């Protein structure tokens, strides 16, 4: 178990292969990349392929080709969560042996009927493993944290105190468990991602503390939204154009408040990144959880006016 903080900044981008990269995911990838590169740090890529029913065939390779077309080249070995089940199982077995988890047979319908948050119904029942989810007995909840961009973030007591699932009843490992173990093992020093993951962060901090592992810093970027809805694969946000990725990269820099020169709008990705890395300024990134776009497809943004 990695319990020693690395000397070098280490960031990461962790897409799920549920569809191609779109402008919203480009913002997260670019923000994490620039934060790492501006600090002479490492930038890792991990494929979060934990949920096969949601995966799109070929999406993982498409995502990697898109990152390469954008010039966002990662360091070290590419990691796939689907190849790390043994590591997750090792930690869950340890927790089970220490009485930190328990089996739960409650359905989503039952939890919804009880108000939407799990009440701990199965905690003391000693239920069998078959057809059961595994929940963490939350004895040391985390109610808030400091985010480098969003400031002080607090969540409702009931959410912080909920015994959340670490392995689903279908046997798949939960996101909160896997992301913490993976970031811990990779020595990630700061997590840069979208603001839709602000609330789950308190649960992840609780897991870091349970694992006695160094906690990373947190930096949640504003989400790109259109018509009040986050750009996502689920709402069919259009894929990035890998044949001419420069305009989308320029627009992502502008979205992040970096003020790229208008004359670079038609530049190649290498030229854009050569400007972006030394000019990255976190204080310019807009605060707040989301930014409304005028158009859902970044390729349709107007060309900036040359001064």
Point out the annotated binding site for L-glutamate.
12-16, 48, 175, 193
Residues annotated as binding site? 12-16, 48, 104, 106, 118, 122, 175, 193, 233
List the binding residues for ATP: 233
Cβ neighbours around 132 below 10 Å, total = 17
Coil, helix or strand for 135? strand
Q: Of 284, 253, 281, which Cα lies nearest the Cα of 267? A: 253
Instruction: Please list the alpha-helical segments (H only) found in 39-174.
Output: 59-69, 85-97, 108-113, 157-161
Strand-pair partners of 133: 104
Known binding-site positions for Zn(2+): 104, 106, 118, 122
For every residue of 192-250, DSSP letters joined together read EEEGGGTTHHHHHHHHHHHTT-PPPEEEEEPEEEETTEE--TTTTPPBP-TTS-HHHHH
**Dihedral sign for Cα atoms in the order 69, 259, 232, 193:** positive
Q: Would the CA dihedral through 60, 76, 231, 166 be positive or negative? A: positive
d(CA 265, CA 236): 26
């Amino acid at each position: 178990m990695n319990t020693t903080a690395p000397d070098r900044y280490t960031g990461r981008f962790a897409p799920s292969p549920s569809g191609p990269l779109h402008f919203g995911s480009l913002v997260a990838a670019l923000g994490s990349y620039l934060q790492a590169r501006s600090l002479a740090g490492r930038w890792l890529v991990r494929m979060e392929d934990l949920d096969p029913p949601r995966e799109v065939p070929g999406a993982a390779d498409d995502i990697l080709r898109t990152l390469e077309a954008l010039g966002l080249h990662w360091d070290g070995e590419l990691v796939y969560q689907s190849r790390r089940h043994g590591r997750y199982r090792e930690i869950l077995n340890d927790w089970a042996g220490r009485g930190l988890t328990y089996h739960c047979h409650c359905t989503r319908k039952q939890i919804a009927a009880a108000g939407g948050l799990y009440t701990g119904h199965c905690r003391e029942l000693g239920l069998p493993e078959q057809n059961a989810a595994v929940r963490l007995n939350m004895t040391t909840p985390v109610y808030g944290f400091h985010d480098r961009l969003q400031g002080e973030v607090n969540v409702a007591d009931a959410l912080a105190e909920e015994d959340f699932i670490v392995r689903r009843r279908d046997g798949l490992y939960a996101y909160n468990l896997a992301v913490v173990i993976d970031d811990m093992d990779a020595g990630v020093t700061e997590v840069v991602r979208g603001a839709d993951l602000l609330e789950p962060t308190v649960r992840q901090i609780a897991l870091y503390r349970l694992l006695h592992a160094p906690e990373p810093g947190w930096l949640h970027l504003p989400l790109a939204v259109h018509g009040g809805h986050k750009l996502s694969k689920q709402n069919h946000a259009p894929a990035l154009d890998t044949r001419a990725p420069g305009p989308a990269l320029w627009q992502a820099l502008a979205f992040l408040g970096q003020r790229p020169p208008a004359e670079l709008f038609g530049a190649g990705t290498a030229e854009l990144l050569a400007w972006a890395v030394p000019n990255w300024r976190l204080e310019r990134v807009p605060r707040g959880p989301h930014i409304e776009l005028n158009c859902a497809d970044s390729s349709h943004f107007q060309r900036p006016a040359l001064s």
